[in-house]
């Protein structure tokens, strides 16, 4: 069983994907972590972030592992645990250069499919999972929420990670990421055909998970 969850930053995808995977007893794949890890690797090497070919070579060369844990995913980059380092605001912002490139996306899409094959049944989340990476998924979801609510969520995440930020700056960053995610030519954020749309603005994670779980069960019963 392959379940895809796509949606903009802060729509609740990661948490819901983890909860759904747990409830179904299957694995969870965080594809944003692959873009983040390559971004971090490039920043650590002081690469020119506008040099698409250098970034693509790096994406193909790094040794990246994603291991499910109780509360998320343990990510290693060339053997180094970067699970926390890939979540900084700087990596979020700079990941744009990695995500916008068709040649880098091709490398990461291949990696994501290989990770998926190894997992068997899984819930995957990102921007292009139902549209590009796993078009034959069993069930596809598209999660959304208003930009203001997503900014409040991001603010809380950053504060919890010890990176307090300003609401207006976070909202502006979210709006900019939305535009960038939706307008890139390769793997843009889209609602996949036949995807079930869930607006998470005024629902708790538990409510969203229950709705999605019922949907999966009704389709696979
Ligand atoms: O979801 P998350 O915020 O971790 O994504 C990190 C970066 O990777 C974002 O810039 C997003 O646009 C990009 N991304 C992507 N395709 C995916 C998952 C994430 O382009 N499938």
* pLDDT tens, position by position, 30-63: 999 999 999 999 999 999 999 999 999 999 999 9
Mutate to test the pocket of ligand 1, among 32, 38, 82, 158 (most ligand atoms within 8 A of CB): 32
35 Cβ closer than 6 Å to some ligand 1 atom: yes
Whether 130 is in the pocket of ligand 1, judged by its Cβ within 6 Å, is no
pLDDT in tens, 102-139: 999 999 999 999 999 999 999 999 999 999 999 999 99
Burial class (CB within 10 angstroms; exposed 0-12, middle 13-18, buried 19+) of 79: exposed
Taking residues 75-98, what's their average pLDDT? 95
pLDDT value, residue 71: 77
Q: Is the CB of 131 under 6 A from ligand 1?
A: no
Burial class (CB in 10 A: 0-12, 13-18, 19+), 178: middle
The whole-model pTM stands at 0.94
Is the minimum distance from the CB of 9 to ligand 1 under 6 angstroms?
Answer: yes
Q: Rounded mean pLDDT of 186-199?
A: 96
Residue 64 clears pLDDT 80, i.e. is over it = yes
Mean pLDDT value of segment 56-74: 92
Nearest ligand 1 atom, CA 35? 8
Assess whether pLDDT exceeds 90 at residue 157.
no
């Amino acid at each position: 069983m392959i379940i895809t969850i796509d949606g903009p930053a802060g729509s609740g995808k990661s948490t819901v994907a983890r909860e759904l995977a747990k409830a179904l007893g299957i694995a969870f794949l965080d594809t944003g972590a692959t873009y983040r890890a390559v971004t971090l690797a490039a920043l650590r090497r002081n690469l020119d972030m506008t040099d698409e070919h250098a970034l693509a070579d790096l994406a193909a060369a790094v040794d990246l592992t994603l291991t499910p844990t109780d509360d998320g995913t343990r990510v290693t980059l060339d053997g180094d645990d970067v699970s926390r380092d890939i979540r900084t605001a700087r990596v979020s912002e700079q990941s744009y250069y990695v995500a916008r490139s068709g040649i880098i996306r091709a490398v990461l899409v291949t990696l994501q499919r290989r990770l998926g094959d190894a997992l068997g049944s899984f819930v995957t989340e990102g921007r292009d999972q139902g549209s590009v990476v796993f078009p034959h998924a069993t069930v596809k979801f598209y999660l959304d929420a208003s930009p203001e609510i997503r900014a409040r969520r991001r603010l809380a995440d950053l504060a919890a990670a010890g990176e307090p930020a300003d609401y207006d700056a976070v909202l502006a960053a979210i709006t900019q990421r939305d535009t960038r995610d939706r307008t890139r030519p390769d793997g843009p954020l889209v609602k996949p055909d036949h995807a079930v749309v869930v607006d998470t603005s005024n629902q708790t994670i538990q409510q969203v998970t229950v709705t999605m779980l019922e949907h999966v069960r009704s389709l696979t019963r």
